[in-house]
A and B are shown apart, each in its own frame.
Chain A
Amino acid sequence: MLEKIGVPAVAIVTDVFNSTAREMAKLWGVPDFRFLMMPHPLANMSETDIEKQTDELVVRVVELLKTGQPL
């Protein structure tokens, strides 16, 4: 929806929801939509975990913004 209105979007899900996210992408008619995954679960992450995971996510967000979505 965001891409349709002209705003590049990055979506993050936890890894166990890979199939769910892929199914949602298919449902919305963009089956090859690239999204980012991070380890599950989120709810009991410590502050140390959040620091470590966001360090990695920064790199991957930037990479995805540069790579873009499949044509």
Chain B
Amino acid sequence: MNDDARLDAAEQIELCYANDWTDGLPVIPPAPHLVNEMLRAVRLEPDTVIATMASRRVGVTAEKIAANALMAGCRPEYMPVVIAAVKALALPSFGLHHAAAALAGPTIMIFVNGPIAKKLGINDGVNLLGPGPAQRANATIGRALRLILLNCLRYIPGTSDRATFGTPGKYTCCIAENEENHPWEPWHVECGFKPTQSTVTLVGITTMIQVWNYGNHEQMLRTIGKALSFEGSIALLERTPGTVIFGGEHAEMLRASGWSKQRIKECIFEHTANSVAELKRAGRIDGPITPEDERTVHYAIPKPEDLMLVCAGGPVGALSLVLPGPGSERKAGRSASVPIEEI
């Protein structure tokens, strides 16, 4: 490569910065022939409206999705996943505006289920959420969604995105569920999809809590319940749905217990209890503390069935990941699962 070509590429990247098209990291400049290659992968016309976001008065087109996915570093074959994720953003069950604009600055986590995960190399195991050379699919699919939020939906930090801190997960957050040798059924099957149908589910999460526990399964689930219901959790009072990712050792522990997924949900639910008195002492609920408050229990989620339990992460380490929801009202924060249409 001669000096002129290197300079040209650098100038193109700088131009994208100058146009405010980035997330702070360099992007692949959206050259028309590369954007068209992304569109050809899903056989869509550029002006096809994929999803309309009522809160932003915008219908996001295939061309804009392709341009942002390219900029993020996606390969063309990732496009069906990105498109399904954009459709999920528009679902009322997700509550886009709160997930994207709230002071809590939630991460929007993309869960991918079904055969497409293996096909595209979306990581479901070791270093699930971390960077690495084998993480291209995870890193770029998640990043594409954020670039679409910035560039198409205009959730710009400081104006529409008022996150106090934000989270590193806002750069990118995409995982696959580990469906091989699963103790029960994976998330999309629990939702009624066939195992062979690939899906995307979006979940707004305010924080990620790693729970370490080498006790028995009931003790482990107790600590998970406590993590879901910590006193400062923004999801606590509105009871938005929570999510738990069981790492390999915990999943095996639960398999060995013989407990069903439902029984596990019920156990976690019981351990999300805080007394009203404690919540008043913590300033989460107003008013004087009465004797009745010591006996009145507030659960962090409305009912056990609201929990999303998945299995992913490395096979070693007595660890699971607890993901409280984004606050707001409990009906929002987790999208319905959207089928991925493969060409």
Contact = CB atoms under 8 A, between A and B. Distances in A.
A contacting B, Cβ–Cβ less than 8 Å: yes
Contacts of A19: 158-159
B160 A24 contact: yes
Contacts, number: 19
Interface in A16-65: 17, 19-20, 22-24, 27-29
B162 A27 contact: no
B261 interface: no
- B contact residues, range: under 10
A71 B158 CA distance: 28
Contacts of B154: 23, 27
Contacts of A22: 159
A27 B57 contact: yes
B56 interface: yes
Chain A interface, DSSP helix/strand/loop, else mixed: helix
A46 to B, nearest CB: 11
A28 B159 contact: no
A17 B162 contact: yes
A18 to B, nearest CB: 10
A27 B101 CA distance: 14
Interface string B135-167: 000000000000000000010101110100000
A24 B101 CA distance: 11
Contacts of A23: 154, 156, 159-160
Contacts of A29: 57
Interface in B222-261: none
Interface string A1-24: 000000000000000010110111
A27 B160 CA distance: 10
A66 B154 CA distance: 33
Interface of A: 17, 19-20, 22-24, 27-29
19 contacts: A17-B162, A19-B158, A19-B159, A20-B101, A20-B159, A20-B160, A20-B162, A22-B159, A23-B154, A23-B156, A23-B159, A23-B160, A24-B160, A27-B56, A27-B57, A27-B154, A27-B160, A28-B57, A29-B57
